[in-house]
Structure 1
Amino acid sequence: MSVEFLWHERPKPARGPKPALTLDRIADAAIAIADAEGLAAVSMQRVAADLGYTKMSLYRYLPGKAELVAAMLERGIGPAPDLSDRPWRAALTAWATTLLGRYFGHAWSLEASTGNRAIGPVELSWMESALKVLPDGLTGGERMDAIATIAGHVRAIAAQKGGEEQLTAAMTLVLREHADRFPAVAAALADAGAPDQAFTFGLDRILDGLEVLLERRV
């Protein structure tokens, strides 16, 4: 996969009419398809047709579908939030909450951001912004692992959007008649709060662990 097109701006023609298409316009058309029908529905042919162009027209802007998906991810996830002038815990909470919202906005981005793929400047800027707010006291590997753990938690919650509420409803239904067989589940469920608290709870525990680790090293 070629990633150069993600990292270098195309030179603008000095003369003549402006190009009819742009990489952003192509990516936006592909995103609209993926938002409505899923990533599998995206193809060079489909995007070109939706834009009113031939498939070959798109190859002037990117090599193929893998690169198209990379461009979609850059465009769909968008820039990281401004974390300046915030304590590190508040900054990482804002980072994780914003990322979760971006995943919720484009469910296909979870699939698009896995496996062997191209990494663009926007995606790398998310890593940069998070690493910059971590306090001193961690090794380079620990800093990378800390962000990977937070990002993994965000992805896990994004992947089960709506699923936790459905699971709670299903368990509540069967426990009406079988609570005596699963008393621990029934007790925990009866005392549980809103089903969407897993994100905040998990993130806070990750940050608590980092804080304890840093305090031990003082």
Structure 2
Amino acid sequence: MTDAEHPDSPALPHAHAVTWGVAALPHRGPKRELSTERIVEAAIEIADADGLEAVSMGRVAASLGAAPMSLYRYVTGKDGLLLLMYDAASEVVVPGAGSTWRERLREWAMFVRASYDAHPWLADLPPSSIPTTPNRLAILEAGLAAIEDVDEPYDAKLPTLLLLLGYIGLYAKASSNADVDDAVRRALPELVTDERFPLLAPAVRAGVFELRDTDRDVGFGFGLSRLLDGIERWLERKADGDELEQLPTGITTDKHVREAAKLVEKARAELRDAEKKAADAVARAADRLRAAESKAEAAAEKEAAKAAVKAAKAEAKAKK
């Protein structure tokens, strides 16, 4: 099926037309080895091995033993190739074996996450609010199937799925250590000081940023469970008022806002200092009281011992 067969259909960019199967096939030259599918597969292999930045038309062509210009008969350029890669790597099959909406939605999230684990560069291409390729839309279709029996309208279900998709993509990006300089990571316990980061510094010294194989799974599961807790609570309370007023983008650089934030941080630092002094005062007072109690107990024991000796002497004298 091509655009020529459906002249009333809106004209799609070439890469999108390819994903939807409505692009006209290129005229094949003497070499029949090339195809859009082979080009996309080669690009995905490069991205999986060396990251998205390693993908170029030249390198893809070299991996296929072809001239770079020959690729342009199948893809319009790198942007089109990236979109085709994005859609191809987003093919997710979800069994849908859970018995409750929460079990099915958790399974859906885990299968989507597996695609990000298989292709970490997917996190560099975050999902948009309107997915436009078949496989990205199929992910939403599977998500809707997971919560099909939830009595909520689509304008509530779709934002819920986009929330989870955003979490999956952002977690994949945030939990990657590919761009972290190991020397800098090891230096963080010294760089993150108590003066500048009083709440974070103890955690850094305790090794919160040390590399552990289990961290990604534990952290992802924890975050996903908390999101599902929130969705479940939202379904239970059936309350409105979730809308938030959008702040102007310039508010982050507003002079008065920044000054107010500095005052708040100064007040927090002073409060922490006062709380520390109070805790020290309590500890010292407790030590003094315990010392006084120990001294009083020792004096009482001494007096009791004296009284006992005196009583023993009196008893002995009386027997004589």
Tell me, yes or no, if structure 1 residue 155 matches structure 2 residue 169.
yes
* Structure-2 separation of matches of 1:46 and 1:154: 30
Choose from 47, 57, 60 the match for 1:44. 57
Following superposition of structure 1 onto structure 2, how do residues 1-218 of structure 1 map, counting pairs within 5 Å?
Answer: 1-2=13-14, 3-8=16-21, 19-84=32-97, 86-113=99-126, 119-134=132-147, 135-163=149-177, 173-174=189-190, 182=198, 186=202, 195-196=215-216, 197-217=218-238
Total equivalences in the alignment: 210
* Structure-1 separation of matches of 2:200 and 2:71: 57
Match for 1:201: what amino acid?
A: F
* Structure-2 separation of matches of 1:70 and 1:117: 14
| TM-score computed with the length of structure 2 as normaliser | 0.55
Match for 2:215: what amino acid?
A: P
* Structure-1 separation of matches of 2:64 and 2:130: 25
| TM-score computed with the length of structure 1 as normaliser | 0.77
3-state SS, counterpart of residue 4 of structure 1: helix
From the superposition, tell whether residues 145 and 189 of structure 1 become closer, same or farther in structure 2 (CA, over 3 Å): farther
Match for 2:231: what amino acid?
A: L
From the superposition, tell whether residues 205 and 7 of structure 1 become closer, same or farther in structure 2 (CA, over 3 Å): same
* Structure-2 separation of matches of 1:186 and 1:10: 57
- Over residues 108-138 of structure 1, what are the superposed CA-to-partner deviations in whole Å (9 max), with x where a residue is unaligned? 1112345699832111100111012213222
From the superposition, tell whether residues 188 and 32 of structure 1 become closer, same or farther in structure 2 (CA, over 3 Å): closer
- Over residues 81-104 of structure 1, what are the superposed CA-to-partner deviations in whole Å (9 max), with x where a residue is unaligned? 222554211111112112222212
Query: Could you tell me whether the CA contact under 8 Å between 2:57 and 2:77 is conserved in 1?
Result: yes
Q: What RMSD in Å do the two structures reach over aligned CA positions? A: 3.8
* Structure-2 separation of matches of 1:161 and 1:187: 17
* Structure-1 separation of matches of 2:115 and 2:139: 12
* CA shift for structure 1 position 78: 2.2
Return 202-211 or 59-68, whichever deviates more: 59-68
Match for 2:119: what amino acid?
A: H
* CA shift for structure 1 position 6: 0.8
* Structure-1 separation of matches of 2:100 and 2:79: 38
From the superposition, tell whether residues 43 and 114 of structure 1 become closer, same or farther in structure 2 (CA, over 3 Å): farther
* Structure-2 separation of matches of 1:172 and 1:46: 37
* Structure-2 separation of matches of 1:147 and 1:93: 11
* Structure-2 separation of matches of 1:199 and 1:189: 23
| Structure with the greater alpha carbon radius of gyration | 2
Q: Greater RCO between the two (CA within 8 Å, min separation 6)?
A: 1
Query: Could you tell me whether the CA contact under 8 Å between 1:153 and 1:199 is conserved in 2?
Result: no
Q: Unaligned regions of 5+ residues in structure 1, if any?
A: none
From the superposition, tell whether residues 188 and 94 of structure 1 become closer, same or farther in structure 2 (CA, over 3 Å): farther
From the superposition, tell whether residues 114 and 146 of structure 1 become closer, same or farther in structure 2 (CA, over 3 Å): closer
Match for 2:150: what amino acid?
A: D
Query: Could you tell me whether the CA contact under 8 Å between 1:33 and 1:42 is conserved in 2?
Result: yes
Return 2-11 or 49-58, whichever deviates more: 2-11
